[in-house]
Amino acid sequence: MKKAPHLFAFCSAQSPLRASCGADLRGSIEAAMPRRGSLLYTAFTTVCVATAAFSPSFGVNPITPEGEFFSDPAPRTGPDGALYLFGSRDELSASGVYCSRFNDVFETRDLRSWKIRRGVLASVGENDGIPASDAQLYAPDAIFHNGKWRIFYCMPDKSHSEGVASADTVAGPFETMFAYDWARQIDPSIFRDDDGTLYYFWGQFSAKGAVLKPDLSGVHPGTLHEGVIDEARHNFHEGIQLTKRGG
């Protein structure tokens, strides 16, 4: 039996996508369009109009309210069938940095209507679930495990950079279960294999991976792999995500 391949998705660089992608896409479409007045142009526009007439309706994009930014979304399907996006809230700070101390959740059942649950995990304020640090919260991941939701968080604090928090529902508030003092980097990602084994991946420039213990308290000794992918060989920067394809 052929072994199913595993695909890694990751960020290779940080670029101003919000500012540039719309203009770039529009320019590409305009460059590809036939000249106005030609028969090909008439056929092109007729097809476009006909396609638009029979296209399904879509929700409003972006899904975030105007002026709000939601970074590093990790999609997870809940036991209730809803789709949840776990991510970090971006807010312009006084120092000019787009980061905050809050992880939010976006919820939908039809990809059209979205409910925003703000600050389900925070490092300050009312829903402070990380008493060990007040640092900013970066890209999270989450899973539903043993009847509860778990958020795997990270932050730029060398003494408390990664950990896992738990709540009964996605509405939170989430509270820290275990600190992952052995991780000491950013961008955790969880992969659950078909047999239920949980794998923990994380890192910047060089990704690491290990098998998580079932209680999420840490990783099994001897399972750590350094340099799963790295910058030199794969142009890896950060934000690893493992996907199993083909069974």
pLDDT tens for 152-179 read: 999 999 999 999 999 999 999 999 999 9
* Token pair recorded at residue 24: 């770039």
Question: Bigger pLDDT: 14 or 77?
Answer: 77
Let me know if 189 is exposed, middle or buried by CB neighbors in 10 A (0-12, 13-18, 19+). buried
Long-range pairs for 215-221 at CB < 8 Å and ≥24 separation?
A: 216/145, 216/150, 216/164, 216/177, 216/178, 217/177, 217/178, 218/178, 218/180, 218/182, 219/182
- End-to-end CA distance of the chain, in Å? 11
Judged against a pLDDT cut of 80, whether residue 224 lies above it is answered with: yes
| pLDDT reported for residue 95 | 77
Which of the four pLDDT bands, split at 50, 70 and 90, describes residue 181? very high
Q: Residue 55: pLDDT above 60?
A: no
Q: How many CB atoms lie within 10 A of CB 114?
A: 17
50 vs 35: CA distance, rounded Å: 19
230-244 pLDDT, tens digit per residue, is 999 999 999 999 999
